[in-house]
A = this chain, B = another copy of it.
């Protein structure tokens, strides 16, 4: 089962907090922009503003990497770019494979952001024979049967899945069996992988649903008992969505004994 997270073996002294790791790419992007403008140094305050985070948090994040700043001055931009890149492993070349070259997969393959940070698309793989050989973003699509060979020959350890949901677990299993140990999954499915394999997911639908939750709250909580935040013209619009569900207010009570459940959600 994928859930099996074993406890951390006692004192892990060398680990960088996960939350910090997730922010490093953000800092790196801001620093790269500064570097391109030939800015020599930057203070934690400035950089934090550019990255959209708290400056104390940024300083603490950097403190996990070491003492790379100079008090009274700030951080050397170029040096910090290098240190973060090294910490993230971007000074290496990471060959990746992408499986499922449909609408999304093709868009991803065309995305420049891949190649710009040490990631190299080693292969595009699809199960549709009519697509094999057709170049996407200058790279010919290869057939799924060769997946293991491709991974082996290119030493691939990172895979991207952009297949339909139904095929994702199967593709995942093959990737893992072939030696891939990090997977970025775009299919709306929970992948189960053995220990030692990292999976990250990008899920459009989930993001929208989270936004909808907050949007609904902005619209609804006008007469709330607690503090009434949220002035702004935005709340005005949010209060008038296209169709308001006419659910009885008493629904909050107890559970209806039998099937009085409204039929919602087509799929």
Q: Which residues of A contact B (CB under 8 A)?
A: 1-3, 9-15, 21-22, 24-26, 28-30, 32, 35-36, 49-54, 66-68, 70, 76, 78-79, 81-82, 85-96, 103-104, 106-108, 110-111, 113-114, 116-120, 154-155, 157-158, 176, 179-184, 188, 190, 192, 194-198, 200-218, 221, 224-227, 229-238, 240-245, 247, 251-252, 255-256, 259, 261-262, 264-267
Contacts and interface: CB of A to CB of B under 8 A. Distances in A.
A142 to B, nearest CB: 18
A185 to B, nearest CB: 10
Contacts of A236: 179
Interface of A is mostly: mixed
A188 B225 contact: no
A234 B179 contact: yes
A88 B54 contact: no
Contacts of A35: 265
A14 B11 CA distance: 35
19 contacts: A2-B207, A3-B54, A13-B225, A13-B226, A14-B225, A25-B205, A32-B265, A88-B209, A94-B241, A103-B110, A106-B107, A108-B204, A181-B235, A182-B211, A184-B211, A196-B235, A198-B211, A198-B215, A202-B204
